[in-house]
Structure 1
Amino acid sequence: MASNRIGRINEEVQRELAALIPTVKDPRVTGLISVTGVDVTPDLKFAKVYISVLEKSGSEQVLKGLKSAAGYLRRELGRALNLRSTPELDFLQDDSMAKGAHILEMLRNPEVVKPANPANEHIILDEED
């Protein structure tokens, strides 16, 4: 039962943060930013917020800007949600889209896959009698 409650809280925090991030006035927080997931601890003290940025070159600056605006976002999140305590926000880069694209590329083109150790690609093991 508690996990269902945490799941609902994760969804609400994700929805509210997605609406709040465009209001951040930090110049580093620009471009298309998506909140891909939120993991709130059961005691509601901390939340890991997974962020995906369309422009990969500026993703580090966006994360720095969001971390500096975490206090503002937490305050606004506390006003929007009726929770006993508002969790501290920790912003993390979500690279699942890049991993998925790489897996799709490997499925489409098998030559993309490289052996783990190309020097020992054809090792023949001797069988002991």
Structure 2
Amino acid sequence: MLRVGERVRHEIAALLSRNEIIDPLLETVTVTVPEVRMTPDLKLANVYVMPLGGENAEDVVSALNTHAKFIRGRVTPALDLKYAPQFRFFVDKTFDEYGRIDAILRSERVQRDLASDDDSED
């Protein structure tokens, strides 16, 4: 599943970089594909995307879901799978999670705890 997901991610990223999808919104934005999660039967691919800068993320995902059949037709021949997986696009929330965790680690409370651990080691 992981290997196929990585191949799907690579092929979709290549397709998006070539601007083959005719859509006014998708033509004006750069989209990254950080992750693709495949179902165990490899028939469904959940594709997580994020436009550069994070602006209009929901609109970009909606446009990609609108063009999912076109994307499927362009990507699946390169995958050499028994079944052509269906693609569902979602906004990637991991960047938000990274920011939240980073803010927690930089908080005064955590810094105070880290400083007290350093003092006790001396």
TM-score range with shorter-chain normalisation? 0.7 to 0.9
Where 1:36 maps in the other structure, the secondary structure is strand
Residue 26 of structure 1 aligns with an amino acid whose one-letter code is D
Q: How many residues align?
A: 106
Counterpart in the other structure of 2:22: 25
Asked if 1:72 corresponds to 2:67, the answer is no
Change (3 A) 1:32 1:110: farther
Contact 1:28/1:64, CA 8 A, preserved across alignment? no
1:78-89 matched pairs, under 5 angstroms:
78-89=76-87
Counterpart in the other structure of 2:33: 35
The TM-score with structure 2 as length reference comes to 0.79
**Structure 1 runs, 4 residues or longer, greater than 3 Å off:** none
In 2, Cα distance between equivalents of 1:110 and 1:99 = 19
Shift of 1:56: 2.8
Q: CA RMSD for the aligned pairs?
A: 1.5
Where 1:28 maps in the other structure, the secondary structure is helix
Shift of 1:60: 1.2
Residue 2 of structure 2 aligns with an amino acid whose one-letter code is G
Counterpart in the other structure of 1:50: 48
In 1, Cα distance between equivalents of 2:10 and 2:54 = 23
Residue 101 of structure 1 aligns with an amino acid whose one-letter code is G
Q: Which has the higher helix share?
A: 2
- Which one has a bigger Cα radius of gyration? 1
- Unaligned runs of 5+ residues in structure 2 are 110-122
